Structure 1
Amino acid sequence: MDHDRTAAPLSADEADARARQLITEAYAPPYATPTSHRDETPLPAYGPTPPVAQPGRPPMSQRATDASALMLSGSVAALSVGGATSLVLFTLGQVDPTTLAVAGAGPVALVLAVGSLLRSAGRAKADAHTEHHHHYNGPVRIRQESTTVSSTTKGLFAKNRNDVS
């Protein structure tokens, strides 16, 4: 509705009523049912919210994270050993290929041997405890059986040996 400029100005009560009517019409939805909803409540700082991937390294298990850190540390160590070897070779000017192969394979063989030794020591410690104690109160008529199966795989072509005791 066009407002006639020649008409008399509205009184304060009429202007207030007209303003309220315009505000109500402006904020009233043009449809009967809402099509969206925005929840303005703040999210909790902790709780059952699922994790979200963060920038940087991708999420990994603890074992994968430990292995990754070990590989990064090993690469730094290999870089220093390689740099020192390169400096020695540059200083000497020439090296016998056999000597170079032995010098390059020596540290790797040493690391593999130490790793194998530590693994076998860990297995020996885990297998050392074989006692089982059972305590019963009163008359007991139970038949008890204990079966242990250990499997060993060795060789380039898998050779399985199962010991049942």
Structure 2
Amino acid sequence: MTDAEAKAEAQRIIEKNFRPEVPVVRHIPTSFRDDSPLPPYGDTPPVHQDDKRIVPAWATGIAVASIGVGAGVTGIGCGAWLVFQGLASVTLYGVLMVTLPFAGAAMVATAIGGAISKARNEVTKNVYEGPVVQNTQINNTSNQRGMLSRTRNDVR
């Protein structure tokens, strides 16, 4: 290889390996420009614009889930608001309406208990064995000191 050929080859290798790279720029339009002529008067007719956006499945799922959670929380909040509105306006009729089921259940339980006690046979087992003693002696002690006083009756 002659000196001229070597110099040309070296120049080619240096230019190939050490030149600044030109970045690859993809020209993707971010807007649509309509170059059709405008009408002389009135509104411009609409032009179809292609929409080629792709939404990932996980983003769609999160969006749907967030809408569902928001609707559910809104429903719970409305229910709590109604309950607290009802509790804030307590009236006698409202208290009676709340306690009415409990009073009805108590009445039914009392009626069932009374029917069961009437239905059972009465059995009297009075067994009197042994001497009967009647004491009529009463010891009355009174201790009155300070703010509190105490009277104690002992029957012997």
- Bigger Cα Rg: 2
Q: Give the structure, 1 or 2, with the largest relative contact order (CA under 8 Å, sep 6 or more).
A: 2
Q: TM-score, normalised by structure 1?
A: 0.21
Q: TM-score, normalised by structure 2?
A: 0.22
